[in-house]
A and B are shown apart, each in its own frame.
Chain A
Amino acid sequence: MEFILNHILTLMTFLPILGMIVVVLIPDRFSMQIKYASLLFAILVFLLSILMYINFDPDNKELQFVEHIVWIRAFNIEYFMGVDGLNVSLVILTALISLIACVASFGIEKKVKGYFSMFLLLMTGMMGTFVALDLFLFYIFWEVMLLPMYFLIGIWGGPRKEYAAIKFFLYTLFGSVLMLIGIIALYYNSQPTTLIDGTAASHTFNIMKLTAENDFGAAAPLFGISFAKFIFVLFFIGFAIKIPMFPFHTWLPDAHVEAPTPISVILAGILLKMGIYGILRVNYQILPEATIWAAPVIAIFGVINIVYAAFVCMAQEDLKKLIAYSSVSHMGFSLLAMSSFSEAGISGAVLQLFTHGVISPMLFLIAGVIYDRAHHREINKFGGIAHIMPEYAAFTGLAFMASLGLPGLCGFIAEALCFIGAFSTFKLLTVISAISVVITAAYYLWTMQRMFLGPINERYLGYKDLNIRERLTLYPLAIIIVFLGFYPIPILNIINPTIHSLINSIR
């Protein structure tokens, strides 16, 4: 037990790799065993995350469950992992959504072995990205994620899968190579420090050391702006592509529409959170002055995300595309809120990551349910589904309401916090965004009406309601959404202390 608690982050990150090896060793014909083996590892990771949550001390502002050894001495690279309020909720989210996506993946029939080995590799990449605190390590995990994602979309995706997969890969790689320049430049401009084992190091990749011991004020300006600002821009573009922030968002609808349902779930539930997390972890912590300089621009882009994507949603015919754009819109809330530097704002931004990370997977699962039956997702072709599949309609209603921010469901708390936080700094922008929530309500309700209400379409009469696998994925999410809607303290509690010290360091 002691051992598990001391190395819990390593275990959570690398258990899926072990699972991948197990899956690769199982012969092709045992496809059911492959699925159960993967599920076993996803459950293990989830249980570990629960264990971590129980043992996480919310009052402690310092890093917890730290793993820290020297990895590559020549470049002062350390194997450094840890959780604090910024990432602990995201780690739990990753474990939860991975498990649900794994259950949802049981419907996969084609090349089962390849699918689940890629899926487990993806889990490692995601978990590692959230827990790594050494920039080099962070970058490795960040990139490791791209590869399985490319294959998962490209092999098991829809009709335009090749296009969507390469577009996703190219966009994110473009962003991350810019980030790589930022990482190396930060490294070479960092002050001499010591590694964890006490040896002296002339430079460091350690995010905490870069935060505490460097202000990069002495570094020579680049392209007419200060060094810190230039590096800020490089990192910001890399993360903005992942969020995705307007105008870098065009990969997302393609990737979502073509990806198989479980992968859409992962994409919306976990991958989109990495952009915001990265900005908070790297840009906010390491480059606070540049962050203050860029805050108004971030806020404006946040509002563009919210308003523009909401209008685009109105025009969508494809249910999955609509949900994809609604994700873009909802990520805008986080962008707007975090640029206000208020405690409520940043807490709201992080909570929004979590709540959106629960709601949007549910939405994609819902889109998957109807696609499995009808083999299309065109909103206008449906009608009266509520009479044929009442349970399904109820879940859809719940998820739509949660997404549009109905009080009593968890989306509302996060959005409210975001607006409260943002209002103190950006009054006009907040008002504009708050009004655009009406558009969100409009497209969801209109979709609801077109799909579920009205006359029954004869074509869909024979459809069965939710099966056991779909229930297994939808019920847990619904329970979390309702529970956190009334009582968000379990998540807010673990977020707040770190946010408090983060804001103090920026001011």
Chain B
Amino acid sequence: MENLNSISVLTPELIALIAGIIILIFFSVKKLSLEILSFVSILLIISILVFVILISQKEAVSIGQLFVSDSFSNFFKMLFCVAIGLTFLFSYRARELNSGVFTEYTLLLFIFYISASFMVMAENLIALYLSMEILSLISYIGVSLNLDRLSSREAGLKYAIFGAVASSLMLFGISYIYGITGSLNYSEISNALVKLRIDSEPIFIMSLLIILMICGGLFFKLAAFPFYAWSPDAYQGGPTTFVALLSTASKAAGAGALIRIMMNLFVNQLSSPDLSNLAIILGVVSLFTMTLGNLMAINQNNLKRLLAYSSIAHAGYIIMALSSTDEVGIRATQFYLIAYLIMNLGAFYCVQIVLDRTGDESIEAFYGMSSKNPYLAAIFAIFLLSLTGIPPFFGFVGKFYLFAAIIGKGGVFYISLAIVGVINSAISLYYYARIIKAMYLSPDTEGKFNFDIVRKVTIGVLGVFTIIFGIFFTPIIKFVETFSGILK
């Protein structure tokens, strides 16, 4: 009975798996039109989302000490569903993904969902490693799918090499942890660490460092310092919709897994001094991540590359909030991930729309957009201002929540971190405003620019959410509070 119960919480993943198999078998034999394939896929994703919501009513269930399905993981699964659904909606007319690879692309997205959701469910290091590795493989392939571009293959290769380093580092760390504590399960490791602390101080400290090494693998997923170098190339080369997914869902998966490690390995059992070490390390990582991301974004002319650096900076803000190592920080992160999902996907899709039409993804492609298509220009401007963190947009509330999480802790360390953070977000205005300047302030150009209704509605809805949740964000706070049940 218990087994049955634990299987039933995996229904969403099973649906995704079956969907993937069916697509593999039928659609690769007989090529159907892209519209039908995407329509079916969107229906499947919606049904997965429905099942996730149904499951979220239940208690937390542990699956063989490897995975745990609780409200925290369900929160992330919902994010993945929304992100993947939007990806389908935007992919089927994408110029970069010619019809030849679209079936494979669909398959990839379903596996993306499965691996990402296992990643946030993992409560065992090997389970984490395996799910993360699958997610990485999917990402390497996805980035290389832009077959018309040489840079896409280059990006995929670079990404794979960086990924190999990060994951071998992680595996190395895991083997050490197993050697020291004799377990791979989070709570058992945590108990063993408490014992180690009394028995042998040096080994204890070493094992803390090793855990950080494991976190390094997650920093790679988040594209945080020092493992961020892959992301500009990958984002520039890869298909835009997939890159958008990488910058949101994949980062969310990394953040989710990081929070689980942080809370299960450190918070429950260990006393505060070690936690503050972790906080300082996370703080320093976030400081470098956001500063480097923002500074390097300033001079970018390629919008995908610019957004890549900007999303590095946003990973920095997220890690900054996590450095508070408490419940408020986690909730703030979850809140921000929702805001970031909406506005960053929106921003990438605006680039995609212009890219599909003109084949150009540089800032120049947006010159005079306010006269060519005022609607697109206005919505894109909303996303960019929201990313900057200017009220009354959703991104501001998200950033407010992040900063509140660390300022609430008080003390010189956190206040300094917050000051660096806000200065960074002022810097970010400069490069986001460059795009707005191109759209609005440059001289008008001749000609109109039009795109199809599905895309218009989609970015319109995302834009409306960005405004509405910037003013009435109580529902989002409620939602996050319902789904932050990681602290037992």
Give the interface of A toward B (CB within 8 A): 72-75, 114, 139-140, 143-144, 146-147, 150-151, 154-155, 161-162, 165-166, 169-170, 173-174, 177-178, 180-181, 184-185, 187-189, 219-220, 222-223, 230
Contact = CB atoms under 8 A, between A and B. Distances in A.
Contacts of A187: 404
Taking chain B's interface residues, is the majority helix, strand, or loop, or is none over half, making it mixed?
helix
Contacts of B474: 72-74
A483 to B, nearest CB: 38
A219 B408 CA distance: 12
Contact of B403 (A74, A155, A174, A184): A184
Interface in B422-476: 422-423, 425-426, 429-430, 433, 437, 440-441, 472-474
Contacts of A151: 440
Given A150-B433, A184-B400, A230-B415, 7 more contacts: A140-B391, A161-B441, A177-B425, A181-B418, A181-B419, A188-B410, A223-B415
Interface string B348-392: 000000000000000000000010000000000000010000111
Contact of B390 (A146, A155, A222): A146
B404 A184 contact: yes
A166 B388 CA distance: 14
Nearest to A110: B444
Contacts, number: 87
Contacts of A139: 391
A188 B473 CA distance: 20
Given A139-B391, A143-B396, A222-B415, A170 B429 contact: yes
16 contacts: A72-B472, A72-B477, A74-B478, A114-B370, A143-B390, A144-B391, A155-B440, A173-B429, A177-B422, A177-B425, A180-B400, A184-B400, A184-B403, A184-B407, A189-B410, A220-B410
Among B385, B407, B412, the one with the most A-chain Cβ atoms within 10 Å of its Cβ is B407
Contacts of A180: 400, 403, 422
Contacts of B370: 114
A166 B419 contact: no
A75 B403 CA distance: 13
Interface residues of B, number: 33
Contacts of A174: 423, 426
Contacts of B423: 174, 177
Interface string B317-338: 0000000000000000000000
A466 to B, nearest CB: 32
B64 interface: no
B424 to A, nearest CB: 9
Contacts of B440: 151, 154-155
A222 B430 CA distance: 30
A184 B419 contact: no
A147 B385 contact: yes
B273 interface: no
B179 interface: no
Contact of A178 (B408, B422, B430, B437): B422
B411 interface: yes
A181 B440 CA distance: 31
B415 A185 contact: yes
A170 B441 contact: no
Nearest to B405: A184
Contacts of A143: 390-391, 396
B288 to A, nearest CB: 20
B408 A155 contact: no
Contact of A188 (B391, B396, B407): B407
Among A154, A185, A230, the one with the most B-chain Cβ atoms within 10 Å of its Cβ is A185
A258 to B, nearest CB: 11
A215 B404 CA distance: 21
Nearest to A143: B391
Contacts of A188: 404, 407-408, 410
A181 to B, nearest CB: 5
A139 B403 CA distance: 15
A150 to B, nearest CB: 8
B426 A74 contact: no
Contacts of B426: 170, 173-174, 177
- Interchain residue pairs A-B with the least CB separation, the first 3: A177-B422, A74-B477, A184-B407
Contacts of A146: 390
